Chains A and B, each alone.
Chain A
Amino acid sequence: MSAVIDDHAQGHAHGPAKGLMRWVLTTNHKDIGTLYLWFSFTMFLLGGSFAMVIRAELFQPGLQIVEPAFFNQMTTMHGLIMVFGAVMPAFVGLANWMIPLMIGAPDMALPRMNNFSFWLLPAAFLLLVSTLFTPGGGPNFGWTFYAPLSTTYAPASVTFFIFAIHLMGISSIMGAINVIATILNLRAPGMTLMKMPLFVWTWLITAFLLIAVMPVLAGVVTMMLMDIHFGTSFFSAAGGGDPVLFQHVFWFFGHPEVYIMILPAFGAVSSIIPAFSRKPLFGYTSMVYATGAIAFLSFIVWAHHMFVVGIPVVGELFFMYATMLIAVPTGVKVFNWVSTMWEGSLTFETPMLFAIAFVILFTIGGFSGLMLAIAPADFQYHDTYFVVAHFHYVLVPGAIFGIFASAYYWLPKWTGHMYDETLGKLHFWLSFIGMNMAFFPMHFVGLAGMPRRIPDYNLQFADFNMVSSVGAFLFGATQVFFLFIVIKCIRGGEPAPAKPWDGAEGLEWSIPSPAPYHTFQTPPDVE
């Protein structure tokens, strides 16, 4: 545990080291946050380009661009990269940058482990993406990798996939331990738990979720590894195992994972909406409790992903009721955000636009989630494009828009420059239109009967699929534009004051912009 004994106490007041080694060896939370964010954006573009391949193939009926075998690799890699490579590292990056600034800590609690947990990620994804070039191809069994398609019937590259998942898991767990240690041990004097910004609260809960479920994911892939190479039969019916067991263990991880990808966004939006409403967040305490309730419920609803595997009726009813209950704390959150805006003094800068779109579109995703929770109706929705529409409505406007909102909100703090507001708004509107155009029609084709994960479809689904593809291309191209906006902001622009948003609250605005390399060497006073 040498990483525990960190050396920031010696206080090196000098700036960052020069050259490439600054980034390789850095233990500075801001540097590591930056690395995470750039890595995440790279993965977002890569996973997005896979989505472009999918949408290009689905542009019209018939097989045009890729063969079904490769199509399956694209859907699998798109899911894996977006979940583990884009969304999760982006939130870890935001946590690295902002949590020490928000609680008045000089750095993360475990800076060397912080460096290691980041550098595991490029290794993991290099390994994962390289499988695409192996004979037999990369993982082709969906990001949910159900056995026995992912064991007995898997391509040879599955072993690399398992190893990559292990690396990502270790990275996430170390990141989570670091976040918890930082929040619990490094808060400035006077920063009580109930004074923490909600982003810190939601991340604390997210980190506990990560520690609870990432090891279970590691367990399930380890069982796969043993089935494939060491002759066990966890998931093979022939040896007395059970393929359905795989799904139970996977979704025990998988459902909390969904909240891991959304809770930090809840937190960020809970800072942004009050800032641009110029009004304190409504119902801070109930927000904290609602987050806790959602996290707790996430552990007892996993089988709603499995309503059609043949669970006895008692089980179906239990999981249906438990899932519906999630609507209550989620509703509380939405009502709180709306009440925060109510009688505020609203302006609509880019972060606020993304935050408002977050609330509206995430709520739409929540409604379709409620519909999916109704077991008998789920028999019709399950594994159709309705589900694809649902989880993209919670993940794209939820996680991704939450990340965009955060990025615009804190870019002035990170770079010392204001981003170009006009371009930011353009980015928002193009993303908003592209996203809705891509994913809204998926509700229709799903209800009309189009299954997910198919490379070709009947003519009745053709028109909406074409609309979806056009929307997806628009959304995809727009994100390259975001890269341009960020680079422009880094290179120059109107100098940002310490607190560029007049309604913003929090310790991070008490330090100059750009944030100095070392901050809060002496803890600030919190009233």
Chain B
Amino acid sequence: MMRHPSAWMGLLLWSVLGRANGAWTVNMHPGATEVSNAVFSLHMTIFWICVIIGLVVFGAMFWSMVLHRRSTGQQPAQFHEHTRVEILWTVIPFLILVAMAIPATRTLLHIYDASDSDIDIQVTGYQWKWHYKYLGQDVEFFSNLATPAEQIHNNAPKDEHYLLEVDQPLVLPVGAKVRFLVTAADVIHSWWVPAFAVKRDAIPGFVNEAWTRIDKPGIYRGQCTELCGKDHGFMPVVVEVKSQADYDTWLSERKADAAKLKELTSKQWTLEELAARGDKVYHTTCVACHQAEGQGLPPMFPALKGSKIATGPKEGHLNIVFNGKPGTAMAAFGKQLSEVDIAAVVTYERNAWGNNKGDMVTPQDVLAIKQAQAQ
């Protein structure tokens, strides 16, 4: 019965309202993998079985509601049992259930066979972001919500992928068997990409397995589906599926970047080097709010030029960049930028636009906060 009125109602709404932005979606999407298609057809099979049973049962009900009303002069029959009929309507549903269980079992066994994978990805849930690690590849990163706070607080128009966009998506090759090893670092999360029909709970202390093989390149979006605290609704999953060649290029770039970054964190920096790097970081990450000359857009976005924070003690300055300022648009960049970039941008802000403090924050300082906070 489920999808029967839904389909009708959907059709009705469609004809009335037109297909504005596909928002009146009434059904599951078949998805982009063999498994998701199998699950979809299972879903539709059960749905139609329910519709047929529903038509028979509700049909009988409406029949008697219309024809056996007292106002039609109906004299009530007095029968109250019929053994043969009762046996029949116990046995027939049972047989229908057996018929449903067969394809369901087949699909389930297929889903559980994660052997012979080509790529293994460790997926770790954090409050409130995902961490991906390409096992054996030395590539790992956090994937944070990228939707700006102004959109969430209705101060800016919402994008098409509102709440379903991240700073760094998980990148996978098309056609490869990918195994996900899902775990969590704090509370229970659940990693879900509807287009792959993959949903697995991420449980602290335990590892869960799931797999997929994606047929088409593209960007696939999902969300955390286990209540995990305040920002449960704000930790999307985005997977970008590339051709094998593009994937290989991407992976080697990531590896090079990772190696370079590791080296940079431990390197001894001079103020000039850091400030030069910070200049770039500032102009990609901070400029939208604090503006090119550090003048900001008061009162929403305070100036940095000559500000108390940027010219005060460096610990306070670093702290606000690292942890953000609750209740304002200032995000906690400690989770989004590398140690090097945070050190660089703080150093830059302390020495640009006539702030000329002459001091610097090193990547090691940032690492120290990270460690102190973690305790």
Contacts and interface: CB of A to CB of B under 8 A. Distances in A.
Q: Verify whether A and B have any Cβ pair under 8 Å.
A: yes
A367 B1 contact: yes
Interface string B1-32: 11101100110000000001111111111000
Interface string B209-251: 1000000000000111111111111100000000000000000
Nearest to A76: B227
A479 B80 CA distance: 36
Given A148-B204, A379-B39, A345 B68 contact: yes
B206 A68 contact: no
Interface in B68-116: 68-71, 74-82, 85-86, 89-90, 93-94, 97, 100-101, 104-105, 107-109, 111-112
B44 to A, nearest CB: 10
A440 B12 CA distance: 15
**Interface size range on A against B:** 35 or more
Residue of B5, B75, B76 with highest tally of chain A CB at under 10 A: B76
B77 A344 contact: yes
A456 B236 CA distance: 12
Interface string B155-188: 0001011111000000000000000000000111
B38 A344 contact: no
**Interface size range on B against A:** 35 or more
A66 to B, nearest CB: 12
A316 to B, nearest CB: 6
Contact of A141 (B38, B65, B70, B227): B227
Given A380-B43, A453-B227, A346 B163 contact: no
Contact of B76 (A61, A344, A456, A463): A344
A347 B69 contact: yes
Nearest to B105: A317
Contact of A327 (B20, B97, B152): B97
A319 B322 CA distance: 47
B199 interface: yes
Contacts of A455: 233
Interface stretch (B52-60, B132-140, B350-358): B52-60
B323 interface: no
Nearest to A307: B199
Contacts of A68: 230-234
A30 interface: no
Chain A contact residues, majority secondary structure: helix
A63 B187 CA distance: 24
Contacts of B20: 463
A405 interface: no
Interface of A: 61-64, 68-69, 72, 140-142, 146, 148-149, 152-153, 237-238, 242-244, 277-286, 308-310, 313, 316-317, 320-321, 324-325, 327-328, 331-332, 334-335, 338-348, 356, 359-360, 363-364, 367-368, 370-371, 374-377, 379-380, 382-384, 440, 443-444, 447-449, 451-464, 503
8 contacts: A63-B152, A282-B80, A320-B105, A344-B64, A346-B64, A367-B2, A459-B162, A460-B23
Given A279-B80, A456-B233, A459-B160, 18 more contacts: A61-B162, A72-B229, A148-B188, A237-B205, A243-B205, A244-B203, A317-B105, A331-B90, A340-B80, A341-B65, A343-B76, A347-B71, A360-B61, A382-B225, A440-B5, A444-B25, A451-B225, A464-B24
